[in-house]
């Protein structure tokens, strides 16, 4: 394989799956968890802030936040989980999609406090160490992206869809991911990636 092709694949793998620097992000999440525990150690809450407790990618998180903070802002700015993208900031494009108690939601359109006591899963949470989730790997192999900016949201919506419908039809994919926009128009490849992941899961079940 040509060096140019290898470089392109590495670039897509890092950017398109939305988990570049994931090891650092997850270590920073662990640091935030520890800091959150200190928040609850009898210290007075900062003015105009409230204590939030939730689970993010399997880790219990406790920290003080302003009541106006959105879930997307919490993930990106407080927990350094930058795989979640904010594009429209109006709950319309789907780039900020994460799972909240197993349901795909627009994190830019939800207050962080609405996630209190719930479980949040981001694109970083799909990783097993540094190993990509089969769905992320399918997006890489099938070139299910162009610029890659909407890809994390696409992957999270697809993940929720496959949990609900492990063997989706093309129509299921179009309907289930209708809330995720791709400005590059990579929809055929996105659908192909989801179908490939579903087939891979089916083979693994045999």
pLDDT at 206 over 50: no
What does pTM read for this prediction? 0.81
150-192 pLDDT per residue, tens: 999 999 999 999 999 999 999 999 999 999 999 999 999 999 9
The number of CA neighbours under 13 Å toward the Cβ of 203 is 7
- Same CATH topology for 3-14+129-201 and 18-126: the answer is no
Q: Which CATH number fits domain 3-14+129-201: 2.40.240.10, 1.10.150.120, 3.30.43.10, 3.40.50.2300?
A: 1.10.150.120
CB 29 within 8 A of CB 22: no
Please name the residues in contact with 45: beta carbons below 8 A apart, sequence gap of 6 or more.
Answer: 39, 51, 64
Q: Element (H or E) spanning 104, and its range?
A: strand 103-106
Nearest in space to 71 (alpha carbons), one of 107, 105, 36: 107
pLDDT bracket for residue 23 (50, 70, 90): low
32-80 pLDDT per residue, tens: 554 444 455 556 777 889 999 999 999 999 999 999 999 999 999 999 9
Nearest in space to 96 (alpha carbons), one of 76, 116, 80: 76
Q: Quick one: tokens of 11?
A: 């670039």
122-153 pLDDT per residue, tens: 999 999 998 999 999 999 999 999 999 999 99
Q: Which fold has domain 18-126?
A: Ubiquitin-like (UB roll) (3.10.20)
The ranges assigned to domains in the chain are: 3-14+129-201, 18-126
pLDDT at 90 over 90: yes
């Amino acid at each position: 394989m040509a060096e140019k092709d290898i470089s392109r694949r590495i670039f897509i793998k890092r950017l398109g799956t939305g988990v570049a620097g994931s090891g650092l992000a997850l270590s920073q999440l662990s640091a935030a968890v520890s800091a959150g525990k200190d928040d609850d150690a009898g210290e007075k809450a900062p003015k105009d802030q409230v204590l939030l407790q939730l689970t993010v990618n399997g880790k219990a998180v406790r920290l003080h936040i302003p009541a106006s903070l959105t879930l997307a802002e919490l993930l990106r700015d407080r927990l350094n989980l930058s795989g979640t993208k904010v594009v429209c900031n109006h709950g319309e494009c789907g780039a900020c999609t994460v799972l909240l108690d197993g349901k795909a939601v627009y994190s830019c359109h939800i207050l962080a406090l609405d996630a209190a006591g719930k479980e949040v899963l981001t694109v970083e949470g799909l990783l097993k160490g540094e190993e990509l989730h089969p769905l992320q790997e399918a997006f890489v192999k099938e070139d299910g992206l162009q610029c890659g900016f909407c890809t994390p949201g696409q992957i999270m919506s697809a993940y929720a869809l496959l949990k609900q419908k492990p063997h989706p039809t093309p129509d299921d994919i179009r309907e289930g991911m209708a809330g995720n926009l791709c400005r590059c128009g990579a929809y055929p490849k996105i659908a192909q990636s989801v179908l490939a992941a579903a087939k891979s899961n089916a083979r693994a079940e045999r």
